[in-house]
């Protein structure tokens, strides 16, 4: 069970799932916006767009559906996932990055070798 927990919480599985869900919903928004926009074209272009469902209401419906879906995914998937990930795999304590510490040690060693006192930070 520990391996599964590690797989779900450490990997990008949840990030990928959220991206697919949101991407699919946003695709519907783009499609309905395109349909609504083509409705605004001159009627002489109807022969090219005769099979398009033209409705501003359908576009607004897609936008509202997208926002509701995004809220549901955020509150029911992303927030619990973030809390569980932080509980089982806490972030490292903030501090000085290891490379910065190493560079300071090199600087101090070079200054000491030249007979100078290293700066105090």
Domain ranges of the chain: 2-90, 92-121
pLDDT digits (tens, 9 = 90+) for 68-96: 998 999 999 889 888 888 888 777 777 77
Provide the pLDDT for residue 53: 55
What's the chain's average pLDDT?
80
| pTM of the entire predicted model | 0.56
User: What number of other Cβ atoms are within 10 A of residue 32's Cβ?
Assistant: 23
- Which pLDDT score is estimated for 20? 92
């Amino acid at each position: 069970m520990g391996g599964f927990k590690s797989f779900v919480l450490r990997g990008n599985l949840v990030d990928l799932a959220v991206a697919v869900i949101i991407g699919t919903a946003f695709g519907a928004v783009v499609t309905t916006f395109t349909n609504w926009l083509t409705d605004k074209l001159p009627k002489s272009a109807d022969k090219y767009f005769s099979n398009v469902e033209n409705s501003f209401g359908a576009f607004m419906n897609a936008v509202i559906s997208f926002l509701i879906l995004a809220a549901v995914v955020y509150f029911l998937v992303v927030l619990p996932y973030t809390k569980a990930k932080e509980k089982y795999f806490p972030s490292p304590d903030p501090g000085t990055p290891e490379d910065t510490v190493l560079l300071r040690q090199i600087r101090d060693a070079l200054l000491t070798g030249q007979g100078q006192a290293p700066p105090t930070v």
